[in-house]
Chain A
């Protein structure tokens, strides 16, 4: 079974703090994604990566950065956390498959609260 793990299930931080969210997958997937999920808005893509050291902006990259130094690990960084970044953060991975079938496997999510 594919396993995607995230470093924390719940996290509480203060405004202005630097926050690191870690994601690890064990299936040698090329693609990794970071989403945030908010009520009524669904999942919105923050950043994704096709390969090590490669990153692409998603729909809402402002206030976030990412790092992919190893294939299995994709980190999301909030440089200076703000209250509007309080959300559920979901990491996902998938095989590189072009426009073909490319199921995404999700981690359990990190619920971040910024006070």
Chain B
């Protein structure tokens, strides 16, 4: 089993659609979870952390399911500017972070 696994996509959705990505992780001791966004030919940047109770930031909602060891990202009312690759990131121990290979999203007019 891969340490951090994501559906690579691509997800092609129309503007205004709702889209959800899942990510599974294999280390049951992981404590910190994040979603990063990476635009084409750019560096990854933090989109949001994922908290146990779930958290929302505008159109973005992140959920954590510890029992099943997965996290999710929901994007509502997709914008053209949401087109990017979304990376799931899980801490392995202390400062060691493991990255998923990313899910590519394209939002079309």
A-to-B contact residues, CB < 8 Å = 31, 35, 40-45, 48, 50, 58, 90, 94, 96-104, 106-109
Instruction: State which of A31, A42, A96, A109 has its C-beta within 8 Å of the C-beta of B99.
Output: A42
B-to-A contact residues, CB < 8 Å = 4, 8, 31-32, 34, 42-46, 49, 87, 91, 93-102
Are B95 and A50 in touch, CB under 8 angstroms? yes
Report the separation of the CA atoms of residues A99 and B93 in the bound assembly, to the nearest whole angstrom: 7
Are B95 and A42 in touch, CB under 8 angstroms? no
Interface SS majority for chain A: loop
Are A99 and B42 in touch, CB under 8 angstroms? no
Are B8 and A43 in touch, CB under 8 angstroms? no
Instruction: State which of B34, B96, B101 has its C-beta within 8 Å of the C-beta of A41.
Output: B101
A-B pairs with beta carbons under 8 A, tally: 54
Residues from chain B with a CB closer than 8 A to the CB of A104 are 44, 46, 97
Tell me whether A48 and B96 are in contact in the complex, defined as CB-CB below 8 angstroms, given that A42-B87, A108-B43 are known contacts.
yes
Tell me whether A101 and B87 are in contact in the complex, defined as CB-CB below 8 angstroms, given that A43-B44, A108-B42 are known contacts.
no
Minimum CB distance partner of B49 in chain A: A101
Are A94 and B44 in touch, CB under 8 angstroms? no
Tell me whether A31 and B95 are in contact in the complex, defined as CB-CB below 8 angstroms, given that A90-B43, A108-B43 are known contacts.
yes
Are A106 and B95 in touch, CB under 8 angstroms? no
